[in-house]
């Protein structure tokens, strides 16, 4: 992947690594804003109804309290200004358990938290809609046009006549993003302007939503968000906590800090919705798919809709003449679901790729061979050519590297002492898009020492964005890496796409690259000279005796990008060891082989992929947010109950990248790896569990009780 | 957190005197449970007495003058130190295994041996003050959120309509198998010795009372009698993730053999009741029998026959059987793989 003399494509360590491990990287609430007051939210203890009365007297009289803000005294906000999930204290209506109903601002955090508990609330309760199992029978068509029934051929008829078929329902539970840094904000007003130090995956989006909701102009809002302690989608859209901090700061006329507690995270910032996915597959005796139906039932909020696109992988993964993709939703009294790493694809691939494994077993065919037989030459959903597709290489190289030939075709054939060993495979995919982003590059020369500054309002989720952009700029300008400073996460900088939907790397790197090329072009033009060999910007600064030079581009995706179907692809291989007596599963080895275009930095890329894999293993084995079907409260409110995988759950992890030069998707050929790493993982693990035990678990997570 | 008074003490009598007659005062040891509960507003003490400076951290052999008859473990020693102590590793490996199966390295570094026994249930309804819980709000008797709620983690033995919670400690399960006794002191009266079997209680009509410790009593030490189980014992913990999770089921199993005949058996279960559950029925069935898988199975089945599962935890009955058999097998053979 490395080109000669280039730093791009080499595994350099994060340039902000030292800052982070020494605690010097300032996250949102680390900013040393003076005279700060602390806000603590309080929440509804019912899931549906209205607030009858609120007694804030004792809280207001509690020591240190500066203000108690509820729907009774909150300033008027625009409820459809782009803040997700409501809960803006604009009405007494309760739509989910744990909805914000007010906040206390006090001199200290402890005073605020204590006073928040002194508020007495009476409700008029109504019957909450929170039992998904019951309500899913009344699911309706989503409002979102993209979720309309998508038919090609006649899947139902083909299924009816098929000799080999699988029809099964796959269940995935509610999951939470639970980034280690909970959502947190400092708001500081300066006259008409407000600065919001806030962890945001979409800096400009946060600015727009905050401005619209607060009824002020975007230029009066500045978002500062240089470092993010993880987000996984929950910091993409912005939630009420952002603007309520600004409201609190206005009310007490002081800067205010508001950080959610872990317990508050479960009903403040979205979730991955619970899905019932019915997948039906039919194939001929020699393993050609003839029908694929993927029918998803899920839930959304009472007022707003968000539906994970669970059928997306099914649309494009396999050549199949008859296809049906549908969605049905049930509005429920739960917080609005939202984008969650690999939205739709991670959960959808669990259903599709489990069903593929089931059908391969029925056909007595190796699951890799079965997939290869159904490899499409074009995107079957729209007939477009692939910008590139690596599924075949991923499967073949992965099989070799993993030792797939050691897998037993029949389950329960590989026992070692108290354990059954199994192998599983599953494929995944995620779209690759470049989004418009601007970037500014400035060069400065002191003698022969040249430094560069790269600036854009991009977001670094902790994934290494600062680093890959420094690498890109270093090569494009002809400078060593340590002469590049990268400044991100500030809405005063040139606007950029969000770090969402795996668009960050391609959008930002192309913008920075374009800006560097443009800067070099401009210096060449300025010199008035002709060059046989194109000089670098660094050389030009010296030869043309320039002290400072700056330029900016507004980069856009290639004009013909949408003539192609552009995606990253992967194949996942899992080896599991299942304790025969107790049903405890360990993933002893995991391999992800990924084709994601140009890999800018194999080290940060590997971290991204194995990070996604780890979450996928969590999805397969441990993670589940449980709602009490009577009252709509979450009973899994801490890391003691919500089981993200621990170190011991994760065995040997390996990531291999397929070399690709996909210039059809964007100029640099960078396709994005943020999400694809989780897609297909849960299915690979579940398929390995079947191979080990002969038990097909269709309801995640695969906890010990399901294997007894 | 509610405001509270904070006092530091440096000897046992000032510790016991500072809480005497104050129902709303609590000792603060490692704080890993108490402070969490205070932040969640579940525990609302008005006064905390910091006992971490008490000289009660040693682990030492107990003698009757001439012979070693057991071991004494200081109540304020850290879980990590107990698990790594050579005397415990050598003579009570079951206890070391149980401690290391609990929590995480960081928590065990803070957690004390006495605090571990007194940690409160992890029932999520207990932890969430918006939920009804008889254990948390005894006076108001609001009902038990878990009885007909999400009770997958809850009891299959000894529960009452008032409360179906389980005791979360791993250490206590091993201590139950090893016939530990707890030494306690109070401001008034002499030292009291409570057998671990009688230390924790079943919920009955008073789920708010976890143990038979009386108000104002301070745990000073845990004592273990000498035994012949060190060679053949094993702590098995089955959980939803490989570490840092509470037990679905845990089994402390210990055997003393004569040839292959079982002279004595000790089995205690965790994750099944409001207290560490001694599997006395199974133990009695095993004594005098050959140590075979078939006999282990028979004993496990007999013990589990009395289980009364709730809506979401019926799996614990089968899992409990299998886990007992496995733990006894490993205790017998030493082979974990
Ligand atoms: C995330 C997490 C996971 C955990 N996982 C496990 C697990 O898997 N298995 C497990 O067994 N445990 C687990 N624990 C619990 C942990 O073991 C206990 O929190 C710890 O042992 C409590 O000890 P402490 O010294 O911190 O007690 P504290 O929190 O200080 O005190 C607990 C209670 O005991 C009282 N107390 C303390 N010492 C004395 C004394 N000497 N005399 C009288 N009263 C006293 C206090 O007043 C208080 O009421 C976990 C804890 C956490 C936070
Ligand atoms: S089981 Fe016990 S602790 Fe849990 S809610 Fe019921 S009474 Fe409370």
Question: Considering only CB atoms, which chain A residues are within 8 Å of B2?
Answer: 114, 117
**Alpha carbon of residue B159 to chain centroid:** 16
Q: Which residue has the tokens 């000498």?
A: B226
pLDDT tens-place string over residues A352-388: 999 999 999 999 999 999 999 999 999 999 999 999 9
A418: which 2 tokens?
């108290």
Q: Is residue B12 part of a domain?
A: yes
Domain that holds residue B24: 5-53
- Asked whether the beta carbons of residue A45 and residue B130 sit closer than 8 angstroms, the reply is yes
Looking at chain B, the whole-number percentage of residues with pLDDT higher than 90 is: 96
Closest CA to A380 of A65, A151, A654, A135: A151
Cis peptide before A701 (omega within 30 of 0): yes
Q: Out of A110, A630, A703, whose CB is closest to B1?
A: A110
Starting at the earlier edge strand, list the strands of the sheet with A120-125: A93-94, A49-55, A120-125
pLDDT average, residue stretch B174-187: 98
Average pLDDT, integer, range B76-102: 98
Distance from CA of A113 to the nearest CA of B (A): 7
Question: From CA B127, how far away is CA B41, in angstroms rounded?
Answer: 9
Alpha carbon of B155 to ligand 2 centroid (Å)? 10
Pick the CATH number of A150-155+272-433+562-707 from 3.40.50.720, 3.40.50.2300, 3.30.365.10, 3.40.50.11740: 3.30.365.10
**In this complex, do A638 and B127 lie within 8 Å of one another by their Cβ atoms?**
yes
Question: In this predicted model, what pLDDT tens digit does every residue of A3-12 receive, in sequence order?
Answer: 678 999 999 9
**A635 vs B contacts (CB less than 8 Å):** 124-125, 128, 149-150
Distance between Cα B271 and ligand 2 center (Å): 14
pLDDT higher than 80, residue A1: no
Residue B243, chain A, CB below 8 Å: the answer is: yes
Whether the predicted pLDDT of A335 surpasses 90: yes
Q: Which residues of A touch B149 (CB under 8 A)?
A: 628, 630, 635
Q: Is the pLDDT of residue A311 over 60?
A: yes
pTM, 2 dp: 0.97
Are B240 and A45 within 8 A, CB to CB? no
Q: Are β-strands A193-198 and A184-190 bridged in parallel, bridged antiparallel, or unpaired? A: antiparallel
CA B45 to chain centroid: 23
The pLDDT value recorded for residue B337 is 86
pLDDT of residue A3: 66
Number of cross-chain residue pairs from A and B with Cβ atoms under 8 Å apart: 93
With the CA atoms of B123, B129, B133 and B138 taken in that order, what torsion angle do they form, in degrees rounded to the nearest 10? 120
Residue B69 covered by a domain: no
User: Ligand nearest B270 Cα, by number?
Assistant: 1
How far is residue A165's CA from residue A160's CA, in Å, rounded to a whole number? 9
Which chain A residues contact residue B239 at CB under 8 A? 584, 704
**Which candidate in A581, A643, A651, A697 is best for mutational testing of the B interface (most B CBs within 10 A)?**
A581
Q: What percent of chain A has pLDDT over 90?
A: 98
Does residue B281 sit at the A interface (CB-CB below 8 Å)? no
Q: Which residues have a Cβ under 8 Å from the Cβ of B143 and sit 6 or more positions away? A: B132, B134
Over residues B22-38, the mean pLDDT reads: 97
Q: How many domains does chain B have?
A: 2
Known catalytic residue at A138: no
Q: Ligand 2: does its nearest atom lie under 6 Å from the Cβ of B163?
A: yes
Residues of chain A contacting B322 with CB distance shorter than 8 Å: 581-582, 708
Per the CB < 8 A criterion, the answer to whether A43 and A100 are in contact is yes
User: CATH number of the domain at A31-126+180-230+235-267, please?
Assistant: 3.30.365.10
State in Å: Cα B138 to ligand 2 middle: 11
Domain ranges of chain A: 17-21+434-556, 31-126+180-230+235-267, 150-155+272-433+562-707
Would residue B287 count as lying in a domain? Answer: yes
CA separation for the pair A179, A352 (Å, rounded): 28
Residue A142 has pLDDT above 90, yes or no: yes
B322 in contact with chain A, both atoms CB, cutoff 8 A: yes
> What torsion do the CA atoms of A151, A152, A154, A155 make, to the nearest 10 degrees?
-80
Which pLDDT tens digit goes with each residue over A225-281? 989 999 999 999 999 999 999 999 999 999 999 999 999 999 999 999 999 999 999
For B250, which residue in chain A has the nearest alpha carbon?
A582
Q: Which of B17, B45, B20 is nearest to B31 (CA)?
A: B45
Contacts of A705 in chain B (CB under 8 A): 152, 248, 315, 319
Does domain A17-21+434-556 bear CATH number 3.30.365.10?
A: yes
For testing contact with chain A, the best of B240, B248, B318 (most A CBs within 10 A): B240
Query: Given this model, what pLDDT does residue A2 score?
Result: 52
Q: How far apart are CA B300 and CA B323, in angstroms?
A: 9
Atom of ligand 2 nearest to the CA of B144: 6
Secondary structure (3-state) at A438:
strand
On whether the CB atoms of residues B305 and B285 are closer than 8 A, the answer is: no
Write out the DSSP string of A662-680: -TTT-TT-B---TTGGGTT
The minimum-distance atom of ligand 1 relative to the CA of B116 is: 21
Rounded-to-integer distance, Cα A407 and Cα A690, Å: 12
DSSP string, B164-230: ------SHHHHHHHTT-EEEEE-SSS--EEEEHHHHB---TT-TT--BSPPTT-EEEEEEEE--S-T
Could you give the C-alpha distances from A46 to A134, A515, A625, B119, B146, in angstroms and in order? 19, 53, 18, 29, 17
Within a domain: residue B314?
Answer: yes
User: What is the end-to-end Cα distance of chain A in Å, rounded?
Assistant: 47
Q: Does B4 touch chain A if contact means CB atoms closer than 8 Å?
A: no
A110 shares contact with chain B (CB less than 8 Å): yes
Handedness of CA A153, A156, A161, A167 (dihedral sign): positive
B22, B118, B168: which to mutate for ligand 1, most atoms within 8 A of CB?
A: B118
At B139 the pLDDT is 80
Per the residue annotation, which of A295, A308, A623, A675 is the catalytic one? A675
pLDDT at B247 over 70: yes
Q: What is the pLDDT of residues B258-305, one digit of tens each?
A: 999 999 999 999 999 999 999 999 999 999 999 999 999 999 999 999
Which residue in B has a C-alpha nearest to residue A618's C-alpha?
B241
Scanning every residue of chain A, which has its alpha carbon at the shortest distance from the alpha carbon of B3? A114
CB contact under 8 A, A705 and B315: yes
Report CA-CA distances (Å) from A436 to A8, A514, B317: 22, 12, 58
pLDDT confidence of B322, banded at 50, 70, 90?
very high
B185: distance to nearest CA of chain A, Å?
Answer: 33
CATH for B9: 3.30.43
């Amino acid at each position: 992947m490395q080109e000669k003399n280039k730093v791009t494509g080499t595994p350099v360590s994060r340039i902000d690594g030292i800052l982070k491990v020494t605690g010097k990287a300032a996250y949102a609430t680390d900013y040393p804003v003076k005279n700060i007051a602390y806000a603590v939210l309080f929440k509804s203890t019912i899931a549906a109804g209205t607030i009858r009365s609120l007694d804030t007297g004792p809280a207001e009289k509690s020591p240190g309290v500066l203000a108690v803000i509820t729907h009774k005294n909150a300033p008027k906000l625009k409820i459809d200004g782009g803040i997700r999930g409501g809960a803006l204290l604009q009405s007494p209506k309760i739509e989910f358990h744990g909805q914000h109903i007010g906040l206390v601002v006090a001199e200290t955090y402890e005073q605020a938290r204590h006073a928040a508990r002194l508020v007495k609330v009476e409700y008029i309760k109504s019957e909450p809609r929170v039992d998904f199992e019951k309500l899913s029978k009344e699911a309706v068509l989503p409002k979102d046009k993209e979720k309309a029934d998508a038919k090609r051929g006649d899947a139902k008829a083909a299924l009816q006549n098929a000799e080999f078929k699988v029809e099964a329902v796959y269940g995935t539970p509610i999951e939470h993003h639970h980034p280690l840094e909970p959502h947190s904000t400092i708001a500081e007003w300066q006259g008409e302007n407000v600065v919001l130090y806030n962890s945001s995956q979409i800096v400009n989006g946060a600015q727009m939503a905050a401005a619209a909701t607060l009824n002020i102009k975007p230029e009066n809002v500045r978002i500062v968000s240089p470092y993010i302690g993880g987000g996984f989608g929950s910091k993409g859209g912005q939630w009420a906590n952002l603007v309520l901090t600004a409201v609190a700061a206005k009310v007490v006329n002081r800067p205010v800090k508001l950080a959610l507690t872990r317990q508050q995270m479960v009903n403040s910032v979205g979730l991955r919705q619970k899905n019932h996915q019915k997948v039906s597959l039919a194939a001929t005796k020699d393993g050609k798919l003839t029908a694929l139906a993927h029918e998803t039932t899920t839930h959304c909020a009472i007022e707003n809709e968000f539906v994970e696109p669970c059928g997306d992988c099914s649309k494009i993964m396999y050549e199949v003449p008859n296809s049906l993709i549908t969605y049905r939703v049930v509005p429920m009294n739960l917080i609005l679901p939202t984008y969650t790493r690999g939205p739709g694809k991670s959960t959808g691939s669990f259903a599709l790729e489990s069903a593929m494994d089931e059908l391969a077993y029925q056909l007595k065919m190796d699951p890799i061979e079965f997939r290869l037989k159904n490899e499409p030459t074009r995107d079957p959903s729209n007939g477009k050519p692939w910008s590139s597709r690596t599924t075949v290489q991923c499967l073949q190289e992965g099989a070799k590297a993993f030792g797939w030939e050691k897998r037993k075709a029949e389950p329960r054939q590989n026992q070692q002492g108290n354990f059954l060993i199994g192998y599983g495979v599953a494929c995944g995919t995620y779209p690759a898009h470049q989004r418009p982003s601007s970037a500014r590059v400035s060069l400065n020369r002191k003698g022969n020492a040249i430094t560069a500054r790269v600036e854009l309002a991009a977001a670094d989720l902790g994934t290494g964005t600062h680093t890959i952009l420094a690498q890109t700029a270093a090569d494009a300008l002809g400078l060593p890496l340590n002469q590049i400073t990268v400044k991100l996460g500030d809405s005063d900088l040139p606007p950029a796409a969000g770090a969402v939907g795996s668009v960050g790397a391609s959008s930002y790197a192309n913008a920075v690259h374009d800006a560097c090329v443009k800067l070099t072009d401009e210096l060449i033009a300025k010199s008035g000279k002709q060059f046989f060999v194109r000089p670098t910007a660094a050389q030009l600064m010296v030869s043309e005796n320039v002290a400072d030079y700056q330029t900016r581009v507004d980069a856009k995706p290639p004009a013909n990008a949408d003539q192609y179907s552009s995606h990253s692809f992967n194949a996942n291989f899992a080896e599991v060891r299942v304790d025969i007596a107790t049903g405890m599963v360990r993933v002893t080895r995991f391999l992800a082989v990924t084709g994601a275009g140009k890999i800018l930095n194999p080290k940060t890329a590997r971290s991204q992929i194995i990070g996604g894999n780890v979450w996928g293993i969590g999805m397969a084995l441990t993670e589940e947010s449980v709602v009490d079907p009577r009252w709509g409260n979450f009973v899994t409110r801490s890391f003691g109950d919500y089981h993200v995988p621990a170190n011991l759950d994760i065995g040997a992890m390996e990531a291999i990248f397929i070399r690709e030069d996909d210039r059809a998707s964007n100029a640099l050929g960078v396709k994005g790896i943020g999400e694809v790493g989780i897609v297909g993982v849960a299915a690979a693990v579940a398929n390995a569990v079947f191979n080990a035990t002969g038990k097909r678990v269709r309801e995640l997570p695969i906890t010990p009780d399901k294997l007894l | 957190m509610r405001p509270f008074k904070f006092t530091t003490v440096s000897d046992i009598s000032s510790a016991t005197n500072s809480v005497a007659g104050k129902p709303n005062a609590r000792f603060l040891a490692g704080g890993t449970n108490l402070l969490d509960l205070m932040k969640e507003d579940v525990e609302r003490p008005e006064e905390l007495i910091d006992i971490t400076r008490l000289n009660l951290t040693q682990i030492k052999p107990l003698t009757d003058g001439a012979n070693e008859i057991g071991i004494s473990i200081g109540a304020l020693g850290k879980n990590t130190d107990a698990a790594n102590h050579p005397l415990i590793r050598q003579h009570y490996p079951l206890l070391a295994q149980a401690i290391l199966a609990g929590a995480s390295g960081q928590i065990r570094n803070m957690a004390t041996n006495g605090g571990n026994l007194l940690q409160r249930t992890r029932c999520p309804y207990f932890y969430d003050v918006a939920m009804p819980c008889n254990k948390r709000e005894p006076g108001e008797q609001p009902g038990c959120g878990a009885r007909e709620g999400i009770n997958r983690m809850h009891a299959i033995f000894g529960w009452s309509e008032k409360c179906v919670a389980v005791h979360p400690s791993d250490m206590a399960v091993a201590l139950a198998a090893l016939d530990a006794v707890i030494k306690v002191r109070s401001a008034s009266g002499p030292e009291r010795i409570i057998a671990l079997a009688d230390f924790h209680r079943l919920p009955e009509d008073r789920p708010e009372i976890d143990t038979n410790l009386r108000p104002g009593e301070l745990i000073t030490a845990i004592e273990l009698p000498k035994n012949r189980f060190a060679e053949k014992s094993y702590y098995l913990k089955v959980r939803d993730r490989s570490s840092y999770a509470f037990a679905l089921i845990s089994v402390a199993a210990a055997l003393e053999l004569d040839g292959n005949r079982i002279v004595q058996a000790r089995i205690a279960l965790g994750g099944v009741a409001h207290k560490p559950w001694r599997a006395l029925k199974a133990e009695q069935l095993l004594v005098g029998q050959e140590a075979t898988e078939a006999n282990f199975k028979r004993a496990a089945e007999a013990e589990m026959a009395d289980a009364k599962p709730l809506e979401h935890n019926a799996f614990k009955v089968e899992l409990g059987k299998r886990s007992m058999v496995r733990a006894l097998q490993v205790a017998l053979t030493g082979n974990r793989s």
